[in-house]
């Protein structure tokens, strides 16, 4: 059985801005399901139940903050919240906090560092950490973490309009700057019906601006639109591990 010595948690807790009274619940928050497949005698559960709790706590605290501080319509606040709590944002925050080395995963998952699956593992671990902090320190602890590490990114998201999905942003910008409505075309499909990958191109009239891929046509279109924004230098920013808070 492999464990992380408790003394190793000091630096992690400094990054999180929270010191756990119960180190076991922190260990559980850092344990991915795949790790238990290789370590059946491990004494802690995986982190999915904590993730379930943390997801609810995160949404409530973010929603309350937006409601109390902004008089915008419900639809706008919903988009802002989605931009704050989606997997891409949360995985970027996980990278900022540099706690990936503390995550317990199977050998296969540990090697697969750049996949979409890793992004979701990191995002889910953030939610599990929030759930663990809520159980260990109740609402004040969770609120402190969320305000410091998640809501602090709201000004950047608003300034760079990251709450607008890439397809909408690409279309609005293309129409405004060029008077052209983009179109999308499937360029390639590979794999069996239950596990297809689509490659889609985004066009401005006859010009192929960029391509994107995904496990659905919609996902591939979004990826193509994001690539198109970058190709045209219309993307004003993305939230990642390098962004200042």
Our answer to whether residue 59 is catalytic in this structure is no
Q: Which of 8, 14, 22, 55 is catalytic?
A: 55
Rg for the chain (alpha carbons), in Å?
20
Spatial CA neighbour of 97 closest among 22, 2, 48, 29 = 29
Give residues with Cβ within 8 angstroms of 87, minimum separation 6. 119, 120, 123
Strands in the chain per DSSP E: 183-190, 197-204, 207-214
Catalytic residue of the set 8, 13, 14, 127: 127
- The CA-based diameter of the chain, rounded to the nearest angstrom, is 63
Cα distance between residue 65 and residue 155, in whole Å: 13
**197 catalytic per annotation:** no
- In degrees and rounded to multiples of 5, residue 186 shows phi and psi of -70, 120
Q: What is the dihedral of CA 102, 105, 108, 111, to 10 degrees?
A: -10
> Closest Cα partner for 244 from 92, 119, 88?
92
* Catalytic residue ranges: 55, 127
């Amino acid at each position: 059985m492999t464990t992380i010595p408790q003394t190793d948690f000091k630096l992690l807790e400094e990054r999180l801005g929270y010191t756990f009274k119960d180190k076991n619940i922190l260990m559980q928050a850092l344990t991915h399901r795949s790790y238990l497949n290789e370590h059946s005698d491990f004494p802690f559960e995986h982190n999915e139940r904590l993730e379930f709790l943390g997801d609810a706590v995160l949404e409530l605290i973010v929603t309350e903050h937006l409601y109390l501080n902004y008089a915008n319509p419900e639809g706008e606040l919903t988009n802002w919240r989605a931009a704050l709590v989606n997997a891409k944002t949360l995985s970027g925050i996980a990278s900022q906090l540099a706690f990936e080395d503390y995550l317990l995963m199977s050998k296969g998952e540990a090697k697969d560092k750049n996949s979409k699956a890793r992004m979701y593992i990191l995002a889910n671990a953030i939610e599990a950490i929030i759930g663990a902090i809520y159980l260990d320190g109740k609402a004040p602890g969770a609120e402190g973490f969320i305000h410091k590490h998640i809501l602090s990114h709201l000004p950047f998201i608003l300034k760079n309009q990251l709450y607008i999905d890439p397809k909408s942003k690409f279309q609005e910008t293309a129409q405004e700057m060029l008077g052209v409505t983009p179109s999308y075309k499937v360029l390639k499909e590979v794999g069996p019906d239950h596990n297809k990958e689509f490659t889609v191109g985004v066009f401005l009239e006859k010009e192929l601006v960029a391509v994107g891929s995904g496990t659905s046509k919609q996902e591939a279109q979004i990826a193509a639109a994001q690539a198109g924004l970058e190709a045209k230098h219309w993307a004003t920013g993305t939230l990642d591990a390098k962004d200042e808070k």
